C-alpha cells in the first residue's frame, strides 16, 4: 500500500512520527507530540514499511526462516510477543539514536529473532530449533558491513541503514534468548 516506499501519504501514516513535506524538505513532529496526539500505533508500524521489492522479499524470507522455528518450539503467541517487543525496541532505538526520519523494515525484529534463536538454542538445544550452519555468522557479518557505512557509500547515499534498529534488536533478542533458554533448561530438569 506504500507502493514500496513511493506513496508518501501512506508512509506518513506508518512512520514513527508524522511529517510533512514542503518543497525538498521533510518536517517531523516530535515523539512527545506523536504520543500526546494518541498515535501509539506509530511505535510499531515502521516494521511494515519496506522500501523496495528486494527489501520486502529479504525481510519476509528471514521472518519465515527464523519465525517458524520460534513458532514451532515456543508457539505463535511467543512469536507475536517477541515480534512486538523487538519492533518496539528497535524502532524506539532508531529514533533515539538516528533522530527523526523515515525508517522502516523488519530488520530490527529479524536481528532480535536471530539473537533469540541463537542463544536459546545454545542453552536448551533442540534439533528442530537449530539454525542452518553459517546463518549467525552471515547475519553478523552483514551487520558489521552495514555498521561500516559501506552500503551507504555503494548506494551513493540513496539508501540509509537503520543500524540502531539492527543492533538494539540483536541485543534484545540475545537477552530474551538467554532468559528463555535458561527457563527451558530448568523445565527439562
Residues with a catalytic annotation lie at 107, 166
Helix segments in the chain, DSSP class H: 8-14, 31-36, 53-74, 76-98, 107-123, 135-148, 150-154, 163-188
* Of the candidates 110, 115, 127, the residue with the CA atom closest to the CA atom of residue 175: 115
Other C-beta atoms within 10 Å of 87: how many?
A: 22
Given a contact cutoff of 8 angstroms between Cβ atoms, the answer to whether 89 and 172 are in contact is: yes
Collect all residues with Cβ–Cβ distance below 8 Å to 69 and sequence separation of at least 6. Answer: 117, 128, 129, 131
Q: Residue 24 has which C-alpha cell?
A: 525538498
Amino acid at each position: 500500500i506504500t507502493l514500496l516506499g513511493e506513496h508518501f501519504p501512506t508512509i506518513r501514516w506508518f512512520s514513527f512520527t508524522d511529517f510533512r513535506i514542503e518543497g525538498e524538505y521533510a518536517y517531523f513532529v516530535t515523539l512527545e507530540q506523536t504520543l500526546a496526539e494518541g498515535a501509539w500505533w506509530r511505535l510499531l508500524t515502521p516494521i511494515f514499511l519496506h522500501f523496495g521489492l528486494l527489501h520486502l522479499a529479504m525481510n519476509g524470507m528471514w521472518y519465515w526462516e527464523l519465525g517458524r522455528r520460534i513458532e514451532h518450539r515456543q508457539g505463535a503467541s511467543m512469536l507475536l510477543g517477541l515480534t512486538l517487543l523487538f519492533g518496539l525496541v528497535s524502532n524506539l532505538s532508531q529514533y533515539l539514536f538516528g533522530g527523526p526520519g523515515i525508517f522502516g523494515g523488519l530488520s530490527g525484529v529479524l536481528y532480535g529473532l536471530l539473537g533469540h534463536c541463537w542463544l536459546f538454542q545454545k542453552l536448551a538445544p533442540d534439533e528442530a530449533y537449530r539454525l542452518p550452519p553459517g546463518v549467525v555468522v552471515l547475519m553478523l557479518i552483514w551487520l558489521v558491513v552495514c555498521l561500516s557505512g559501506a552500503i551507504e557509500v555503494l548506494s551513493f547515499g540513496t539508501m540509509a541503514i537503520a543500524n540502531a534498529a539492527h543492533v538494539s534488536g540483536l541485543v534484545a533478542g540475545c537477552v530474551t534468548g538467554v532468559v528463555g533458554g535458561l527457563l527451558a533448561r530448568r523445565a527439562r530438569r
